[in-house]
Amino acid sequence: MLKVIYAVVLTFILLSKSFSGEITIYAASDLTYAFTEVEKIYQQNYPKDKLKVIYGSSGKGYSQILNGAPYDMFFSADMEYVKKLKNQGLAISEPKPYAVGRIVIWTRKDSGINVNEGINVVLNPAVKKIAIANWEHAPYGVAAKQCLEYYNLFDKVKNKLVLGENINQTAQFVQTANADIGFLALSVAKSETLQKQGIYYTVPANCHKEIVQGYAILKHAATSKESLETAKRFEEFIGSAEARKIFIRYGFILPGEKGE
């Protein structure tokens, strides 16, 4: 009898392992709020899978992967980083887009600054510090800099700029009054916290290069069958109607989709 019970328990353990895995995902900081919800729903559907998500700038994530960081999936705010990894043999799935990003100018409600003035708000005398993600490795920082240059404003305000390591730190500068306004991702401005704290103006898309954001499964995921299966399940879930509904709510819209 004990042998039978042991055999049943062992079979259960083996079956559980075959249907579960643990993966580490590097995600661009603009995904922080949307991904938290996506991850929650995914875990409800696949409770045995384990997801570890690390957030940071896309450029830094790309560099870490090149240097051997054990990430299984990469969600970048710039599709070009994902394409490079594919060309370098470090991505094993085809790069897929999950959004065309938009940038906004955000300020606290108590700042007394009206960001609805548009891009020229950067010249407002009340604006002493402007938060912007570091364009050396943050795609939203690149886009914000391009907009300032498009409107011939960069040289006029460059001494006001405060650089954030990623879009979340950039938002924190404005939230904590270490900057008066900030160029943020729409997805961050749409979070419940920032909507309660501030107001934003959506910058015209024609002032910067299109922010095509994408993802892929990385070579490291193939180091175990369970990890690869989990990565594939999560990849499939990202394209589901359930996940897309969350992305759209945070402004992550693909061509042909309608926002809220």
Domain match, 153 and 169 both: yes
The pLDDT assigned to 12 comes to 39
Domain match, 8 and 95 both: yes
The pLDDT assigned to 220 comes to 97
Instruction: Report if residue 245 sits inside a domain.
Output: yes
Task: Tell me how many domains the chain contains.
Answer: 2
Mean pLDDT, the chain cut into blocks of 10 residues (260 residues total): 39 45 95 96 95 96 97 97 97 95 96 95 97 95 97 97 96 97 97 96 96 97 96 96 95 80
Domain match, 182 and 232 both: no
CATH number at residue 138: 3.40.190.10
Contacts of 67 (CB under 8 A, 6+ apart): none
Domain match, 114 and 155 both: yes
Instruction: Report if residue 140 sits inside a domain.
Output: yes
Instruction: Report if residue 257 sits inside a domain.
Output: no
Structure tokens at 237: 């879930």
Beta bridge partners of 184: 104
Q: Are 50 and 22 in contact (CB under 8 A)?
A: yes
Structural domain range at position 193:
103-202
The pLDDT assigned to 257 comes to 76
Contacts of 138 (CB under 8 A, 6+ apart): 29, 57, 58, 59, 77, 164, 165, 166, 167
Instruction: Report if residue 255 sits inside a domain.
Output: no
Domain match, 6 and 89 both: yes
215: exposed, middle or buried (C-beta count within 10 Å: 0-12, 13-18, 19+)?
buried
